[in-house]
Chains A and B, each alone.
Chain A
Amino acid sequence: MKKLKKSTINNIISFGIVIIAFIICQSMISSGAMKRSLKGQLVPICVYIVMAISLNLVVGISGELSLGHAGFMSIGAFSGIIAAAWLNALFNIESELLRLILAMLVGGVFAGIAGVLIGIPVLRLRGDYLAIVTLAFGEIIRNVLNCLYFSLDGKRLIVSFNNPNIPGTILVNGPAGATVADKIATFPMGFALIIFTLIVVMNLINSRSGRAIMATRDNRIAAEAMGINVTKYKMMAFVTAAVLAGMAGALYGLNFSTVAASKFKFDTSILVLVFVVLGGIGNIWGSIIAATLLTVLPELLRTFADYRMLVYAIVLILVMLVTNNPILRSVFSRIGRRGSRDAQTQVGGADE
């Protein structure tokens, strides 16, 4: 058998993990072995996995620290919820699956538009300045969404700014958030979204464009000298990530009966960033595992009751200290070199 390329092996691992996990979960659901609390978390886990993979595209592959990823998620969530309700009123779509897919597409498109608008100014900046501006955009999005009111009057969609007195059934009620009439998000759809995300991201990374993006990360000036249009490729990664986050957001929004903009504040962006860093920057299947474990972890820590967020914080600090300890690091890389894979060159590539 021909020896497989490293990227191919990585792809197989990523897809394998997701498919096996999906089969296990599905069989557990059908045999009734899954606890109710865990079952309710399946869709959020899928959403966070997609968020982590898409943020990894920005932080790990394109090497820009983004602190406002939840902003795209919120745009996707709100536009997806509105689209699901409005499309239902306009065309009376019977199939829930079709409505969900359309809502996710709309969420992705709107988040993508926002990604382009935000990316133009943001990607002119470098390093920490870029990070703070993405943070600022995330906060602006949340603030503006807090002032928006949408309602559905028959087939008419009414939008108002800062004025809650609008006719019809209220869909989005400013700071109180959006009300979802029917929760149409499903776990298989979440799984499908993860697979879609993996296909998009893997193909992007292993393409000519992906290599150009990584070249701009590793050395901007050298990449520019080789004739790579840095802004174009950074933009490509940024907007792709925004679209994926928007689709995840739409799925997330349609999983709950109410969603407020305060759900998508700075803390959510940070949470996703933590998934990416703990999973290994630039490592896609690492993101998947970290997102799953860290979404389930607070549930598992229920026994600690009041102390669980405290334990979470301590675990976070300790993991960072241990994984960055130079002595342990050299031990790890020696073990890694002895194995089939040589020391992962992708890990930690964003800042060096």
Chain B
Amino acid sequence: MVSFLRFLINGISLGSVYAIIALGYTMVYGIAKMLNFAHGDVIMVGAYIAFCAMSYLALPPLLAVLCAMAVCTVLGVLIEGLAYRPLRDATKLAVLITAIGVSYLLQNTALLIWSANPKVFPSVFNVGSIKLFDGNLVITSEIILTIVANIVIMIVLTLFTGRTKMGKAMRAVSEDRGAAELMGINVNRTISVTFAIGSALAAIAGVLLCSSYPTLMPTTGSMPGIKAFTAAVFGGIGSIPGAMIGGLLLGVIEILGKAYISTELGDAIVFAVLIIVLLFKPAGLLGKPVHEKV
């Protein structure tokens, strides 16, 4: 029972990281209607920036995170402006391949700058832990921080998209880009802001991911990226609460599957659950089914 609780908490912690990454995927998909495969690599860049800020510049952790967020925001906006904006009217596949190109570019640039040797991410957020059940259940401060960060981000994002003018513009663009443009909404700026938010979230996710799993390599971002993408689809791509639920469920399923079924098949179980869910709800858990018109 205690071990089940431990796995559950670990799963929620991992799921929170997935959820934060998935938010970036889902917002970009909702508004630009593109699968941004480079998102996973932005996570990696964010983690590296935070690592450098802490190890080489000896900045305090919070400042390092802000640093990473700033760099990733600029990076996200740059990627969008240089690579994706010229392809706004191109076919979906062309945009997808470009995103893959950007992903390779980020990975290989990171490989040149930081080399392939894994870096050990410092455990900066380790300020003690809570022990329950006579020390059988240890909840580290990293886990608590991850979960709290997730909840805060969720609330802020919901308020942002629901209450602010920019958030309204985002929802309008995601609903109908052409009509939004006719209403005087600056579509390009809205998409840029979306990328900025998504990339800043990716930086946070990168730091949180690496403080729980402290090996940092140029390929660190790709698997969590794919998982988070799966989470976004799982919850219904384009939906913010969907990304949250999808991420959390995916994290819990992964950890429980690895613990109780098979360590090697952990990823396969995650993907199998995704397939089963999509068979019964083809638009994800919270996605709106799209009706085809003739």
* B86 closest partner in A (C-beta): A321
Q: SS class of chain B's interface: helix, strand, loop or mixed?
A: helix
Which residues does chain B contribute within 8 Å of A351, judged by CB atoms? 91-93
Given contacts A147-B265, A274-B97, A132 and B233 within 8 Å (CB-CB): yes
Q: Are A277 and B97 in contact (CB under 8 A)?
A: yes
A59 located at the interface, meaning its Cβ lies under 8 Å from any Cβ of chain B in the complex: yes
A325 touches B282 (CB 8 A): no
Is residue A273 within 8 Å, beta carbon to beta carbon, of the partner chain?
yes
One of B98, B102, B264 near A143 (C-beta < 8 A): B264
Partner of A126, one of B89, B230, B264, B282: B282
Tell me whether A143 and B97 are in contact in the complex, defined as CB-CB below 8 angstroms, given that A135-B226, A316-B104, A321-B83 are known contacts: no
A220 to B275, CA, bound (A): 23
Q: Which of B140-148, B162-170, B196-204, B266-274 contacts A (4 or more CB under 8 A)?
A: B266-274
* A312 / chain B contacts, CB cutoff of 8 Å: 104
A350–B271 touching, CB < 8 Å: no
C-alpha spacing A324/B35, complex, angstroms: 18
A313 contact from B29, B96, B108, B279, Cβ within 8 A: B108
Contacting residues, chain A, for B90 (C-beta < 8 A):
320, 324
Which of B89, B97, B268, B278 touches A125 (beta carbons < 8 Å)?
B278
Residue of A nearest to B112 (CB): A306
A281 at the interface (CB under 8 A from B): yes
A309→B274 contact, CB < 8 A: no
A124 CA to B98 CA, complexed, in Å: 28
- Is B268 a contact partner of A144 (Cβ separation < 8 A)? yes
A343 to B29: give the CA distance in the assembly, Å. Answer: 31
A159 within 8 A of B: no
- Residues in B with CB closer than 8 Å to A146 are 264
CA–CA, A270 and B225, complex, Å: 15
Does A94 sit at the interface, judged by CB under 8 A? Answer: no
Report the minimal beta-carbon distance from A118 to chain B, rounded to whole angstroms: 9
- A267 CB to closest chain B CB (Å) equals 8
A313 close to B275 (CB less than 8 A) = no
Which of A133, A144, A324, A348 meets B86, CB within 8 Å?
A324
Asked if A270 contacts B100 (CB within 8 A), the reply is yes
Chain B 233-252 per-residue mask, 1 if CB under 8 angstroms from chain A, else 0:
10001000000000000000
B58 contacts partner chain A, Cβ-Cβ < 8 Å: no
Contact B271 A281 (CB under 8 A): no
Residue of B nearest to A146 (CB): B264
A274 contacts B100, CB within 8 Å?
Answer: yes
**In the complex, how many angstroms separate the beta carbon of B82 from the nearest chain A beta carbon?**
9
Q: How far is the CA of A198 from the CA of B291 in the complex (A)?
A: 38
**Min CB gap A61→B, angstroms:** 14
- Cα(A140)–Cα(B94), bound, Å: 26
**Any chain A CB within 8 A of the CB of B60?**
no
Query: Knowing A136-B230, A221-B292 touch, does A350 contact B91 (C-beta < 8 A)?
Result: yes
| B262 CB-CB contact with A under 8 Å | yes
What is the 8 Å Cβ interface bit string for chain A, positions 112-147, against chain B (1 contact, 0 not)?
Answer: 000000000100111011011101110110011011
B87 touches A (CB below 8 Å): yes
Q: Does B97 lie within 8 Å of A273, measured CB to CB?
A: yes
Q: A132-B229, A147-B265, A309-B104 are in contact. List 19 more A-B contacts (CB 8 A).
A: A59-B93, A125-B282, A126-B282, A128-B233, A129-B282, A132-B230, A136-B275, A140-B267, A146-B264, A162-B264, A221-B294, A270-B100, A309-B107, A310-B105, A312-B104, A316-B101, A348-B93, A351-B92, A352-B91
Residues of chain A at the chain B interface (Cβ within 8 Å): 59, 65, 121, 124-126, 128-129, 131-133, 135-137, 139-140, 143-144, 146-147, 162, 220-222, 266, 270, 273-274, 277-278, 281, 306-307, 309-310, 312-314, 316-317, 320-321, 323-326, 348, 350-352
Provide 6 A-B residue pairs closer than 8 Å at the C-beta atoms, listed in order of the A residue.
A65-B92, A136-B271, A140-B271, A162-B262, A324-B90, A325-B86
Top 3 nearest A-B pairs (CB, nearest first) are A313-B104, A136-B271, A143-B268
